[in-house]
Amino acid sequence: MKTVLSVEQIRELIPHRWPFLLLDRVVELKPGDMGVGLKNVTVSEPFFEGHFPRESIMPGVLIVEALAQLTAVVYGTKALQSMQENDEIAATTVENDEFVIDRHVDISSRVGYLVAIKEMKFLKTVVPGDQLRLKVKIGKKFGVLSQVKVAAYVARECVARGALTVSERPDGDKDTR
């Protein structure tokens, strides 16, 4: 499976960090449209300590969080693309399908917010050893809000699916640091 974004590149795109960065790799990406990512679940995750002491289950809300983080990547790469088109940052380029991110551009500060979780279903428990294959597809947009169809799979079996609504950052902060 081809790596489109490594975890180092993901860190450039979203502000999340341990223990809350829940996306290991992006394997498919159409900026502003869709993405497929991987999250490897290990028993060393801090949340398994309490969820639960006698039975390790990844909390459903954290699967949603992983899907939301992938959504932020799909948005962030789109923002990078339009910055590049507008020549705002010449140093950000897409070379051989690979995103090269200028370290002086803090694209992660533009990550929007999660505003609604709709009809989320959790179909199977996710346990240590599972690899979550996360899929997000951006849907209709109205104003600053967009609907996103999301699903998570373990070994081709759907473990969670539903829809999120996300908001662009209202200030559209264009500072480069």
Partner 1 sequence: MDMLTYEETKEQALKRKELTERLKELIVERLDLDIEPELITDDQPIFGRGLGLDSIDALELFVAIEDEFNVTVFDDNIEVFSSINKLADYIVENQEE
Query: Three-state SS for 105?
Result: coil
Report the C-alpha gap between 53 and 47 in whole angstroms.
10
Q: Tell me which of 6, 32, 34, 51 is the catalytic residue.
A: 51
Site membership for partner 1, residue 115 (CB under 8 A) = yes
Instruction: Rank residues 124 and 141 by Cβ distance to partner 1 and give the closer one.
Output: 141
Q: Are 60 and 68 in contact (CB under 8 A)?
A: no
104 included as an active-site residue: no
Site membership for partner 1, residue 114 (CB under 8 A) = no
> Any idea what the Cα angle at residue 114 is, between residues 153 and 21, rounded to 5°?
60
Task: Name residues contacting partner 1, limited to 116-135 (CB under 8 A).
Answer: 116
Centre a 10 Å sphere on the Cβ of residue 89 and count the other Cβ atoms it contains: 16
Stretch that binds partner 1, among 46-54, 86-94, 105-113, 139-147 (CB under 8 A): 139-147
Q: Pick from 6, 81, 109, 165: which binds partner 1 (CB under 8 A)?
A: 165
Q: Are 4 and 97 in contact (CB under 8 A)?
A: yes
Site membership for partner 1, residue 140 (CB under 8 A) = yes
